[in-house]
Amino acid sequence: MCITDKKYYLRPTGYLSKSEAHYLKKKNKVIEINDSFYSSIELISRERKIKKSLFSIDDFVSFINKKNNKNLTDKFNILTKKKNF
């Protein structure tokens, strides 16, 4: 791996209870991860320095669509994919 490669990490924030989140889920304002709901997501990118950006779910989806970055799209899909234990 080259030092100049850019790495991305996604961290969900803004935990919501199930009663609050069901209404917002219908409007695609929250994401569900293993029966927990979150209203925002933090993008941490590392190249030479660490940069952190906080997005609401709507803004993040439009950001990855505009940026057209396959790596970010894959990470977001893996994060929101339903896991069966």
- Which stretches of 6-80 are DSSP H helices? 18-26, 57-67, 70-80
Beta-bridged to residue 50, according to DSSP, are 46
d(CA 12, CA 42): 6
According to the model, what pLDDT value does residue 77 have? 86
* pTM of the entire predicted model: 0.78
According to the model, what pLDDT value does residue 12 have? 92
Which residue stretches of the chain have pLDDT < 50? Answer: 1
According to the model, what pLDDT value does residue 84 have? 54
Structural domain boundaries of the chain? 7-80
Answer yes or no: are the C-beta atoms of 47 and 78 closer than 8 Å.
no
